[in-house]
A and B are shown apart, each in its own frame.
Chain A
Amino acid sequence: MNHLPLITKREYLNKVKNKSFIIMTFVSPLIMIGLGLLIGFLTNINKNKERIIDIVDESGFAKEIFSDTTSSTKYRILNNIDLAQARIDVEEQEHYGLLYIPKVDSVSQLGESVKFFSKDTPSLTLIADLESKISKRLTDINYKNKGFDIEKIREARIRIDINQESYTGEKSSKLSGGLKLAFGMASGYLLFMFIIIYGNMIMRSIIEEKTSRVIEVIISSVKPMQLMLGKIFGTSLAGVTQFVIWVLLLTILSVVLSSVFGVNMSEMQSPQQEMVQEAMKNGDMQEKISLVLNEIHNLPLVNLIVMFLLFFIGGFLLYSSLYAAIGAAVDNETDTQQFMMPIMVPLILAVYVGGFTVLEDPHGMVAQVFSFIPFTSPVVMLMRIPFGVPMWQQIVSVVLLFATFIGTVWFAAKIYRVGILMYGKKPSYKEIYKWLKY
């Protein structure tokens, strides 16, 4: 008798009707948005704190450099005071710091003689800001002194955007590079999160079946393998449901919030987004949008979606069967710790290897190897695919993944079969190895 659909259905309904599941589904996006807003708010507070920087200027350039008064940092040029006295005064007044520009013969000597005094180590952005300000103004002054026309120099500057094209004629650009990276990283992380959240859920539901002792009744009716697969499928479906609701809610909420409060969600952005924006700096809005759409259109979309589904399903099933085995082996959640290591290590490795090596070179040796190892391939390959992976590599990797999945299910089922009837004792690796031979 095939009870798989029945078990899957019960597992699914039991999960989605669970109160805490429902609360998590609807409250998590709110919490995430709230946290985002809070972080944005906090960084703003930090930024908006007025800083006063006093300047002792012996060179006479300061007036020109610090004419801009719009920023939250106020610059005050101190007159008729020597450096020693200024240092004492500024410290007493608890101003942020003191900038000292010494008297020099020519502008070019200022390069290394400007000093900044402060109580604490000043923030990196502040120093960088000061440096760029001074450097920019001094360069302009320098040009003028040497008889160049600044306007002409600006006109003469040429921006360059290299148009990239592969031998097969596939065009790409920095923008598409950014998009590809964003897509790859997003799907890789998504899978990672999915495995951790719902793998744990499967594990807990098996432990619950064990501790409530219902297991013996169930497996006198169905084969352990069916029960295990039913649990994995049911929980996965519940997970997909939750994920879809999250994505929908997050999208709706961020649209609503940004239109109501004028908060720009994209201010909280990742390096990939910055790359995309960097590449889009030129051109008006209309042009930008069509550019992005065009680039998205140029991605191998069908390949991406099909492989995303395959690797997502394969990767999740692979790991969830291991979670199921752990759940069957132990009596309570605290005992799971020792068995989590072998799961977490390849998973985290996949995310880090993916994050670093794919960013560096999507077709490098390390990235290629890790996109074949079944325990890391789902994450790493998903990150690589947008950059164009030969079809044979994708197919080999998928086949390896599913073959390994069958192996882990067999392995997990063996442990499951014995483990679900073992109570009261925390098993060791050695014992679990013995179970495989029962």
Chain B
Amino acid sequence: MDNLLVAENIVKKYGDYTALNNVSLSVPRGSIYGLLGPNGAGKTSFIRIINQITMPDNGTVTFDGSPLEQNHVKDIGYLPEERGLYKSMKVGEQVLYLAQLKGLTKTEAKERLKYWFDRLEIGDWWNKKVQELSKGMAQKVQFVVTVLHQPKLLIFDEPFSGFDPINANLIKDEILKLREDGATVIFSTHRMESVEELCDHIALLDKSNKILDGKLIDIKKQFKSNTFEVGVSTDNEGALLSVLEDKFSVASASFKSIHDDVKVRIQIDPSSTPNELLSFLTNQGQVNHFTEVIPSASDIFIQSVQNN
């Protein structure tokens, strides 16, 4: 597969502390790549290396086919978790300045800025100072700063923090649109529901090591436990439960149902198939509910970190 960014054997040490220990990652072009991990796992260290804010002690980063160098700065947009703009500078001036630092000319920057300010409906803020804006408003400006120079790689560190649900949705849609337009997105967050929603690839860092990476769907397959949630209505609930407990490992379950069901989670042996379970169940009563339990990103996260 075509990778926009390949990091190989990255080592970063701060004095005696190792922040990244031989981490290798490949970010496929056009993907939304979730970079996950508990606090202090090394995510920010990794992101800073891609942004060339710090240099790795060892290892190589390849960007768009060539070794990462200063010139690539203009192809990368970075929204850091610690947001910040010059407080006493006017919004327009500020965005123009930051865009010029990313290599745009003033005229180019002005044109694109108009587009984005109209799109996010923040046009009348041009002459306002940042200190007069609310937190959410400043976040929008910062989002524009991140994407204005049309980078090939976008790095968002907790992009939704500080946004109300409406604006968070707006930003989410913008991110998806940017991806459609050809950008690749690295997305670092603790919010697992947005990982489910957005990411197609993930990597999980813990204690300076990469413990997991790949397509989200593959990882989910890898973590599935052959467990099914079933709802069966029967006259003799006690008999049903004891039969099930004899044959399978059973746990109680709760889900919404309009029937007066026996609700259980059943884990089957990997060698048997869901069909076998289903046909067994149909003999016991009326099967109203039958779903495979898919591990959530959150489950995978917690399980992997706890086992590490």
Q: A residues engaging B (CB < 8 A)?
A: 1, 3, 6-7, 10, 14, 18, 208-209, 212-223, 417, 421, 423, 434, 437-438
Q: B residues engaging A (CB < 8 A)?
A: 14-15, 48, 51-54, 70-71, 73-74, 76, 78, 80, 82-89, 97-98, 100-103, 142, 145
A-chain residues with CB within 8 Å of residue B80 when the two chains form the complex: 213, 216-217, 220
Query: Are B103 and A1 neighbours in the complex by a CB distance under 8 Å?
Result: yes
A-B residue pairs, 5 tightest by C-beta: A213-B84, A214-B84, A221-B101, A220-B51, A216-B80
Query: Are A216 and B82 neighbours in the complex by a CB distance under 8 Å?
Result: yes
- B87, B89, B98: which contacts A221 (Cβ < 8 A)? B98
The 14 sampled A-B contact pairs (Cβ below 8 Å) are A1-B103, A3-B101, A6-B100, A208-B87, A214-B86, A216-B80, A217-B80, A217-B98, A218-B101, A220-B78, A221-B73, A222-B101, A417-B54, A421-B54
A-chain residues with CB within 8 Å of residue B86 when the two chains form the complex: 14, 209, 212, 214
Per the bound structure, the CA–CA distance linking A221 and B102 in Å amounts to: 6
Give the Cβ gap from A335 to chain B, nearest Cβ, in Å: 19
A-chain residues with CB within 8 Å of residue B53 when the two chains form the complex: 216, 219-220, 421
B-chain residues with CB within 8 Å of residue A215 when the two chains form the complex: 84
B-chain residues with CB within 8 Å of residue A217 when the two chains form the complex: 78, 80, 84-85, 98, 142, 145
Per the bound structure, the CA–CA distance linking A1 and B71 in Å amounts to: 7
Query: Are B82 and A423 neighbours in the complex by a CB distance under 8 Å?
Result: yes
B-chain residues with CB within 8 Å of residue A423 when the two chains form the complex: 82
Per the bound structure, the CA–CA distance linking A421 and B87 in Å amounts to: 18
Per the bound structure, the CA–CA distance linking A4 and B74 in Å amounts to: 16
Nearest-neighbor residue (CB-CB) of B57 within chain A: A438
- B54, B70, B83, B88: which contacts A1 (Cβ < 8 A)? B70
Query: Are B85 and A212 neighbours in the complex by a CB distance under 8 Å?
Result: yes
A-chain residues with CB within 8 Å of residue B89 when the two chains form the complex: 14
- B52, B70, B85, B103: which contacts A214 (Cβ < 8 A)? B85
B-chain residues with CB within 8 Å of residue A434 when the two chains form the complex: 15
Query: Are B145 and A1 neighbours in the complex by a CB distance under 8 Å?
Result: no
Q: Beyond A1-B73, A220-B51, is A6–B15 a contact (Cβ under 8 Å)?
A: no
Nearest-neighbor residue (CB-CB) of B83 within chain A: A213
Nearest-neighbor residue (CB-CB) of A1 within chain B: B103
Give the Cβ gap from A21 to chain B, nearest Cβ, in Å: 11
Nearest-neighbor residue (CB-CB) of B47 within chain A: A220
Give the Cβ gap from B104 to chain A, nearest Cβ, in Å: 11
Per the bound structure, the CA–CA distance linking A338 and B242 in Å amounts to: 74
B-chain residues with CB within 8 Å of residue A222 when the two chains form the complex: 73, 101
Per the bound structure, the CA–CA distance linking A312 and B53 in Å amounts to: 33
Per the bound structure, the CA–CA distance linking A6 and B103 in Å amounts to: 11
Task: A212-B84, A215-B84, A217-B80 given; name 7 further pairs at CB < 8 Å.
Answer: A1-B70, A1-B103, A10-B97, A216-B80, A217-B78, A217-B98, A421-B48
Per the bound structure, the CA–CA distance linking A438 and B73 in Å amounts to: 22
Per the bound structure, the CA–CA distance linking A7 and B98 in Å amounts to: 10
Per the bound structure, the CA–CA distance linking A213 and B80 in Å amounts to: 9
Per the bound structure, the CA–CA distance linking A220 and B98 in Å amounts to: 10
Give the Cβ gap from A66 to chain B, nearest Cβ, in Å: 67
A-chain residues with CB within 8 Å of residue B100 when the two chains form the complex: 3, 6
- A3, A218, A417, A438: which contacts B14 (Cβ < 8 A)? A438
- A209, A219, A223: which contacts B70 (Cβ < 8 A)? A223
Query: Are B82 and A213 neighbours in the complex by a CB distance under 8 Å?
Result: yes
Nearest-neighbor residue (CB-CB) of A216 within chain B: B80
B-chain residues with CB within 8 Å of residue A18 when the two chains form the complex: 88
Per the bound structure, the CA–CA distance linking A421 and B81 in Å amounts to: 12
- B15, B73, B85: which contacts A437 (Cβ < 8 A)? B15
